[in-house]
Homo-oligomer: A and B are copies of this chain.
Amino acid sequence: MSGKFITLEGGEGAGKSTLARALAARLGRAGVDAVVTREPGGSPGADAIRALFVRGAADKFAPLTDALLIAAARSDHVARTIAPALAAGRWVICDRFTDSTRAYQGAGRGVDVRTLAALDALIDAPVPHLTLVLDLDPKSGVRRSQGAQAGEDRFEKMDLAFHERVRAAFLSIAADEPQRCAVIDAAKDKDAVLAAALAAIAARLGVQA
């Protein structure tokens, strides 16, 4: 039986990576073997592309170049990490995936959503069984996030209007695809966020953890 694919989405400082680790620990205690991964990155080739992508000036690459770099990294990540884990029956918890591209490169930087969809089709990106959208006011998020990962601040440097567009895009995706997405209030403390995520997993995927 193939595993479940859960993606965590949201702006800077929303607590996605903390939640990913906490979910894997709880699922593990419930007997579910879950791999935690992230984008950009998640395989040696994709991590090398990440290093190029997340550092430097905000306009280092044109918006379409960013979208193609993310697609390149995702093709490696899917082929070498996500697809093999799912095929082996493991669950995959991925910190950022296609919705981040739609929010950051699409709504944030103006790349046509059809271009992004064409790239995801080209690389055969799997559709998540569940996407948890961690919603947070960008003013709190960028403040929480600063310095979290030394030097990886290319997108944090974007202005507040950019981060507002990103937040609106995540909420719009969640509203358009309520079967796949659950929105969680990321302003709450991390135990409350974890409880909300576990409730969504129980309701949508039928696993109590």
Contacts and interface: CB of A to CB of B under 8 A. Distances in A.
A79 B52 contact: no
A90 B98 CA distance: 40
Contacts of A64: 75, 79, 122-123
Nearest to A60: B45
Q: Is the interface of A mostly helix, strand, loop or mixed?
A: helix
A49 interface: yes
A47 to B, nearest CB: 11
Contacts of A49: 52, 69
Interface residues of A, number: 23
Closest 6 A/B residue pairs (Cβ): A68-B72, A65-B76, A69-B72, A45-B61, A65-B75, A64-B75
A21 interface: no
A76 B80 CA distance: 27
14 contacts: A45-B62, A49-B52, A52-B52, A61-B76, A62-B75, A62-B76, A62-B79, A64-B123, A65-B72, A68-B69, A68-B119, A68-B123, A69-B69, A69-B72
